[in-house]
Structure 1
């Protein structure tokens, strides 16, 4: 850890890059872990309703990816806590929330492991198996909410005016703050990142899971459409929040032509993943779009930075601000 700190002091740009990756990658993996549980359960249900074996094979491939991600997050999270957190303080609310988020993640990984391990034993009980996958996804949602709540608490405690903030100020900020925008983004982002990672995972598994060309020509567009549709919902919410912000800044005469250009460029940039996934979904040869899927996934992971910043940003209430002044 000391070597990493020394490296960060010697190379500030490298430190900024590592900080960005340390936020974007784990958060993207956590959201994907949540979404993959629901995605796998959906594919498992479609295997029954549509009577197509490709959906069951895809469901198991996605469940394997969720299993690997879950255990990786659980182990790396424990290692990170060991090196960054001090000794556990029973009376500390922040320490309790951090430990509880890891416990909730452990329960989600346990349910996901059962969902994957009992695959052959629940072949004749597909709806029970689907239900187990849904329960795993719900528990993963609880773990994600607990993790983000702990991160928000730590961010609040790091403020110089932390003693003036209450739990209501931290977790129920005023409407229109970045927290609410991130909250509305969370569900479509979770499903979109899961679909993007699932599609890229199928490309990587082509040589190991030889299910035939028809399987991948069917399931790769399905995963891409899943990601595209969820990302479209996210982009519409992003567009609505941008219009709200522009209108508010326009009324305060703080909105300039340069702000309009930057806002438009940002909206167009975040539209690109949906276009790339659409290209794959409509292609007759989706397996040839490896770089397209990778580019869409990289952009989707990049969104984790503004998502995390908005989710953990603590907005000082106006009453407290006036009190300080």
Structure 2
């Protein structure tokens, strides 16, 4: 098999747990904002949606942790130099582990305290938002460490400035892309979970029509923000890459991402506009798959440029 096809297939495989991790990071805040001053006519629906998506956050995070952990074990075995960097003590492993544990702990409290804090909705919302903030903080630190590794592959303790990339660093653009993608994938996977739970949690057709539209709105409008960030990344990097051998791989990877995300947006738009979105289950499944494919295209293009 051509090495580029093999690399693309490997990237797509890696993006499955990565997409779940991004979704798990964004899900608490998509639930938490619904707790703040909800209209009476949809308060019950919002609470049910929040509980279901908070549960999905824990499940997605668990599956992502298993997948990423397995991948990390393979990297440690096959690339000991890479593993020695990422497992260096106290940096970068300690702050990454602390952020991850904090995000997971807050997500667990957020879901477990749903009934106990039903009369303290603002405090409950703060816990959910804090969980997402900790997860996004983990993402920021990972990108900062990755930049340091790509530029020097030196021991992290030798240069503490990697915590704050310079303003012109592409790390900020990648962070600006990953945050809305996190919310978009949270909405995308929520639609699948709602479809899966339709017969198990029989909350009624009206609820599931409401919830599918709500999840699709999260996915659609967050993807619009991600596309804006994607345009910024392309405009920034293309002048640097157009004369390099990696040019076609970067161009087609970004192109695949753009097409897949636009197609996903079209499907989510149809779900939102439909009076009975439960009839459009295949649209939701296809849109989620397209979103993951778009993430794979982004990963392929940027890994080829920054690392390959």
Shorter-chain TM band? 0.7 to 0.9
The answer to whether 1:183 aligns with 2:175 is yes
The answer to whether 1:62 aligns with 2:57 is no
Residues 89-146 of structure 1 deviation map (CA, whole Å, 9 limit, x = unaligned): 9xx6532424542342122111111111111111121111111111111111122223
- The partner residue of 2:210 within 199, 212, 218 is 218
The answer to whether 1:122 aligns with 2:117 is yes
Give the alignment of 1:1-325 within 5 angstroms: 16=7, 19-45=10-36, 47=38, 52-85=43-76, 94-95=86-87, 96=89, 97-98=92-93, 100-156=95-151, 172=165, 175=168, 179-242=171-234, 248=239, 267-308=258-299, 310=302, 313-314=305-306
Q: CA RMSD in A?
A: 3.8
Q: In 2 relative to 1, CA 11–103 (structure 1 residues): closer, same or farther, beyond 3 Å?
A: farther
Q: Would you say how many aligned residue pairs link Structure 1 and Structure 2?
A: 292
Would you say the 8 A contact 1:24–1:304 is kept in 2?
yes
Distance (whole Å) between structure 2 residues aligned to residue 144 and residue 21 of structure 1? 19
Question: Shift in Å at residue 311 of structure 1?
Answer: 7.3
Question: Shift in Å at residue 76 of structure 1?
Answer: 4.2
Would you say the 8 A contact 1:179–1:310 is kept in 2?
no
Would you say the 8 A contact 1:152–1:311 is kept in 2?
no
Gaps of 5+ in 2: none
Aligned to 2:128, the other structure's residue is in SS state helix
TM-score by length of 2: 0.78
Deviates more, 1:206-215 or 1:234-243: 234-243
Distance (whole Å) between structure 2 residues aligned to residue 236 and residue 203 of structure 1? 29
Aligned to 2:36, the other structure's residue is in SS state helix
Q: In 2 relative to 1, CA 100–79 (structure 1 residues): closer, same or farther, beyond 3 Å?
A: farther
Q: In 2 relative to 1, CA 223–98 (structure 1 residues): closer, same or farther, beyond 3 Å?
A: same
Distance (whole Å) between structure 2 residues aligned to residue 269 and residue 184 of structure 1? 19
Question: Shift in Å at residue 179 of structure 1?
Answer: 3.9
Aligned to 1:211, the other structure's residue is in SS state coil
Deviates more, 1:206-215 or 1:27-36: 27-36
Distance (whole Å) between structure 2 residues aligned to residue 81 and residue 266 of structure 1? 25
Distance (whole Å) between structure 2 residues aligned to residue 35 and residue 217 of structure 1? 22
Q: In 2 relative to 1, CA 236–295 (structure 1 residues): closer, same or farther, beyond 3 Å?
A: same
Aligned to 2:201, the other structure's residue is in SS state coil
Distance (whole Å) between structure 2 residues aligned to residue 35 and residue 302 of structure 1? 19
Would you say the 8 A contact 1:185–1:238 is kept in 2?
yes
Gaps of 5+ in 1: 1-9, 316-325
Residues 40-66 of structure 1 deviation map (CA, whole Å, 9 limit, x = unaligned): 112233546765200000000000000
Deviates more, 1:178-187 or 1:228-237: 178-187
Would you say the 8 A contact 2:143–2:175 is kept in 1?
no
Would you say the 8 A contact 1:105–1:144 is kept in 2?
no
Q: In 2 relative to 1, CA 243–151 (structure 1 residues): closer, same or farther, beyond 3 Å?
A: closer
Question: Shift in Å at residue 266 of structure 1?
Answer: 6.2
User: Which is higher, the Rg of structure 1 or of structure 2?
Assistant: 1
Deviates more, 1:293-302 or 1:203-212: 293-302
